[in-house]
Amino acid sequence: MNSIVNVVLPVFGLILTGYLAGWRNLLGRASSEALNGFVFYFALPVLLFLAMARIDTATVLNGPYIAAYLLGQVATMTIGIAVARTLFRVSFAEAATHGTVGIYGNVGYMGIPLVLTAFGESWLPPVVIATIINAALNIAILTAVIESGRQDGSGAKALRKVAVSVASSPILVAPVLGFLWALAGLSLPAPLVTYGTILGAAAGPCALFSIGLSLVGLPLSEGRAEVASMTFLKLLVHPVAAWAFAAWLLADQPQLFVICILMAALPTGANLFVLVQRYKIYVARTSTGILATTTLSLLTLSGLFYLFASSGLHL
């Protein structure tokens, strides 16, 4: 219970604070975009760079952890596509979007501050790996699927643009540079560490506040059956699948076991909405799914932390 009160509730309290500020329009209509830009381009990349630049490189290249996380995603994605195609009779691109809502966790904006609050910075490297997988793999695959169904001949050009966009994303570039820094065995100058520590400390609270701002105005009643399916996938199927593979591959690595499941249990990331809105596909259902998973994850994450604590893990 202490882990729920001390970790989960404050995290959701920050999201609620952002939502109330947006609902009352206290910071202006451009506040969500501005704060999101600050987190995306400055605070979060600095935090990720420092986290990776100061770790043992062998910790990052952990095959069992990467395999467990990816296998959990593949299993959930497969179920999501099958359900969407069979029950809802949607196109393959829409089914792929349905499945991606079930695996694309809010790792960068919610997972990182949650792990920082619960465990500290030493637990960040596997979270960064999950962030990279989400940014570089999940979005790229979904974009390729959507583009493959387009008939206007612009698919190859758009895919090149997406590849450039993904490769230049600060949230992807920063940890990669940090990893290369650590791989080279370089030390970090003290002023750089101080600068990064001060700026990076803003990433967690600002990201959570930004989530709350971004939730204002999202529709609540679009495609209820499909939203219920995506919510079930994200908050129950995905964590259970990750648990099964983590129990198989990470039984002797309790820290990675916990992080793998926790990353799978996070609600759907709001960045996915940007992609579907760009392509005008599954927009209303995706936005409603983001809102539903974010709201209900207060209960599922609280239950998960309670389960971890009752299992003897120190949280």
Hey, what domains does the chain have and what are their CATH numbers? 2-310 (1.20.1530.20)
Could you read off the pLDDT of 45-77 as tens digits, one per residue?
A: 898 888 878 877 776 678 999 999 999 999 999
Please give the distance of CA 33 from its chain centroid, rounded to a whole number.
18
Residue 77 in tokens: 């994605």
Q: What would the two tokens of residue 56 be?
A: 């043992």
Q: 15: closest CA among 259, 283, 309, 270? A: 270
Tell me 152's DSSP state: S
Query: Two tokens at 313?
Result: 């893990």
pLDDT of the residue at 281: 86
- pLDDT confidence of residue 52: 79
Q: Tens-of-pLDDT digits for all 315 residues of the chain? A: 555 566 677 878 888 898 899 999 998 878 878 887 888 889 888 988 888 788 777 766 789 999 999 999 999 999 999 999 999 999 999 999 999 999 999 887 788 888 888 888 888 888 988 888 887 678 778 877 877 666 555 556 666 666 676 677 787 788 889 888 988 888 899 999 999 999 988 887 887 788 788 778 766 666 889 999 999 999 999 999 999 999 999 999 999 999 999 999 999 987 787 678 667 788 778 878 888 898 899 899 989 988 887 776 655
Taking the mean position of all CA atoms in its chain, how far away is CA 118?
A: 17
Which amino acid is residue 161, in one-letter code? K
Contact residues for 114 (Cβ-Cβ < 8 A; gap 6+): 7, 8, 11, 262, 266, 301
Q: Is the overall model pTM greater than 0.75, yes or no?
A: yes
pLDDT digits (tens, 9 = 90+) for 181-210: 988 888 899 999 999 999 988 887 887 788
Residues across the chain: 315
> Which residues have CB under 8 Å from 223's CB, separation 6+?
284, 285, 288
Distances from the Cα of 188 to the Cα of 53, 91, 180, 194, 280, angstroms: 8, 50, 13, 10, 44
- 105 three-state secondary structure: strand
